[in-house]
Amino acid sequence: MNAPGARALGFPLLASAWRQAALVALCGALAYVNALPGAFHYDDFHSLVDNPAVRSLANLPRYFTDPGQFSADAGKAMYRPLLLLSYAANYAVGGYAASGYVLANLAVHLACSLLVWHLGRRLLGTDGAALLAGLIFALSPLATEPVNYVSSRSESLAACGYLGAIALHGAGRQRPRLAWLAPLAYAAALLVKSVAITFPVAAWLSDRVPGVPSGAPPSRGRRYLTYVILTAAYLGVITANGFLPHSLAAPVRGPGAQLWTQAKAAGYYLHRLAMPCHLSIEPQFSVSTRPEQVVVLAGLALLASLVLLSWRGWGLGVPAFCLAWVLLVLLPASAMPLNMLVNERRLYLALAGLAWLAGWLARRGRGQWLWAVVPLLAVLTWQRNPVWASELSVWQDAVRQGPTMYRAQTNLGKALQESGDAAGAMAAYRRALAIDPGPGDAYNNIGTLLHLGGDASAAIGWYRQALARYPDYEEIHQNLADAWAELGQLDSAAAEYGRAVAIDDRNGSIWSNYGQTLYQAGRWAEAESAWQRAAVLLPQRAEPRNNLGNLYSRQGQLDRAIECYRQALDCQADDRVSIWVNLADTYRQNGDLQQAATAVEQALALAPEHPGALLQQGRILRQAGQLAAAAEVLARATAADSSSPRPRVEWAEVLAAQGNHAAAGEQFSQVVAADPAHSRAWFGLACSLDALARRSAAAAAYEQFLRHWQRADERQEHARARLRQLAVSP
């Protein structure tokens, strides 16, 4: 093929197809240089950041069988196995570095841009027109959401499979062996997102574009049948695994409201395609419930006109196909009632139709001006990218574009809260309630804000209002449980945690908190079960294993405790020092002082002045009979945490064991002055005073000890015996 469009602009070097492809990819990449380092947004948290399923490629088989793998939130299950696979691959390479996910999104977008350019070469007949189409697709700001917003990869990755399937289907007319790759590409698109389900119709239309060579092979009918069989198989799979029945069971709005709303959306989508400016993650748009509204009637008229124009004008060829393409690829998302009424990422695949139409117009006698659109689109994209730099910036922009959108206000509140602006967050939540008091999100968010601010009692009322609206939302039950636990109402807290795990038993964090409450309530067997469940659900988290170690240590099951602490150290842990300290203490109790010393040295290597580690080292040295070294270390532990009585008491006991009762008595006195009910300190003080022959003071200290010490043991017997002896002594 020659390249008249390229030569007409004075760039004969672009006559090469490879150079045109390189230009499309290069321009697309340069337009997104300022998209890095990127950030996570909105749905990214439940489907990626908080989702343990993406953290191991070993979960790959379950992606294809269990829709619940898609999200950490049981209520947001979806069947998108190849999308999950792409997340897992990203995580395996770079963990949760947002830049890696944005780069992967950009790579998918560039692949789609090249496919639009490649298909344009066949549809439009000239390389110059195809180049314009590829550049418009690559540079349009309508692609900024699928590039910058990780979760929008579902749109671009599905579009990549869809466009690839169209390309392979067309190539099969000249090379029949390639035709059988088209069903594989179509299947891949379906396994990313169900909106690809219109592909068989798109393939059928692409074969019948007037003026475009088709070269129909004898097997064409069988190819369409293959696509239909794949579609039926896909519908069977999502029915069997529960995804389709769950999606249809509780639609977010009725069929009438959906029809009238999406009829109105036709004008919005066409306007955004033609003028991709003032974009927003949450566009200003409302539900329409009556067909007689002027805007709905206008939308219905517009839709009918577009369908009629596409059908009756089919003889025009490419323009009619482009219009039909736009209507077709928007149909699934428009027909299915979704939470978001409209959004710009749904236009991603439709943008290909607009790009081809622009290329077709450009090859006409007066269409060369469309080349001027290319740098304008690049500038708009460059300006749009920084909006996605953070959650705060993207929701501030959304509120500017749609100030009366409930979700924009609630998500702005969350972003402000995360940034430390509690007052701004509260104002945003209250604006959301003024817009729509029906949903429970704002109530829950206000409760969370109050709770984090230290007012758990006030938070409870807001959580209850949220649960009245969202009774099956496990996160709100968890928040309410956390508040009850903070107030010491352990039974109420345990009941709420129980309700939360009954709704979603796959949330390891809830199980971990549930176990902590059960443990504090003395329900140790139930706490053990809860933490064991948490350990399974959080294989990389140390907390549940550390908690199990604490439980077993307290029960005297020291070998099991040691095993749990070792497992915790093999996991991701925010506080490895505490785990090493716990392990050292358990080894010490088990009589293995060498292992205990090794463990505490690991803790001190991480935090040389950690009070708990110093305390354990002092105890180990004391148990080993190294009293001088123990006294020195315990003195350091006391200085590191002067408000805690434990290291001071242990230091004083070592001083007493060394015969330094005056110094010991001074330390014991400081403890009982701060805590008059500290029986162990009273006992130590009494013994030191007794050794110093301060009989009356010793007797008073023994009496204080017995007043607070309820156990019948050697200390109690000693105190009683000494009191009797002191009473009869002169």
Residue type, 35: A
Better-predicted residue by pLDDT, 364 or 314: 314
* Range with the poorest average pLDDT among 209-213, 273-277, 287-291, 374-378: 209-213
Secondary structure (DSSP) of 350-413: HHHHHHHHHHHHHTSTT-GGGGGHHHHHHHHHHHHGGGGGSHHHHHHHHHHH-TT-HHHHHHHH
User: For 88-128, what is each residue's pLDDT tens digit?
Assistant: 999 999 999 999 999 999 999 999 999 999 999 989 888 88
Structure tokens at 105: 């999104």
Task: With H, G, I as helix, E, B as strand and everything else as coil, classify residue 252.
Answer: coil
Structure tokens at 330: 């928007």
Q: How many angstroms separate the CA atoms of 357 and 120, rounded? A: 10
User: For 445-497, what is each residue's pLDDT tens digit?
Assistant: 999 999 999 999 999 999 999 999 999 999 999 999 999 999 999 999 999 99
Q: How many angstroms separate the CA atoms of 634 and 268, rounded? A: 72
Going from the N-terminus, what domains does the chain have, and what CATH number goes with each?
Answer: 21-40+96-385 (no CATH), 41-95 (no CATH), 403-470 (1.25.40.10), 645-730 (1.25.40.10)
Structure tokens at 208: 């019948």
User: For 389-426, what is each residue's pLDDT tens digit?
Assistant: 999 999 999 999 999 999 999 999 999 999 999 999 99
Q: How many angstroms separate the CA atoms of 1 and 13, rounded? A: 14
Task: Return the sign of the alpha-carbon dihedral for residues 642, 646, 647, 649.
Answer: positive
Q: How many angstroms separate the CA atoms of 140 and 384, rounded? A: 10
Q: What is the mean pLDDT of residues 139-159?
A: 96
Q: What is the pLDDT of residue 212?
A: 77
- Cα distances from 191 to residues 78, 111, 237, 396, 593, in angstroms, run 11, 18, 11, 34, 57
> Residue for token digits 């390479």?
93
Residues near 707 by Cβ (< 8 Å), separated by ≥ 6? Answer: none
Q: How many angstroms separate the CA atoms of 459 and 447, rounded? A: 4
Residues near 279 by Cβ (< 8 Å), separated by ≥ 6? Answer: 141, 142, 144, 145, 272, 344, 384, 401
**Are 101 and 107 contacting, i.e. CB atoms less than 8 angstroms apart?**
no
Task: Return the sign of the alpha-carbon dihedral for residues 579, 584, 589, 590.
Answer: positive
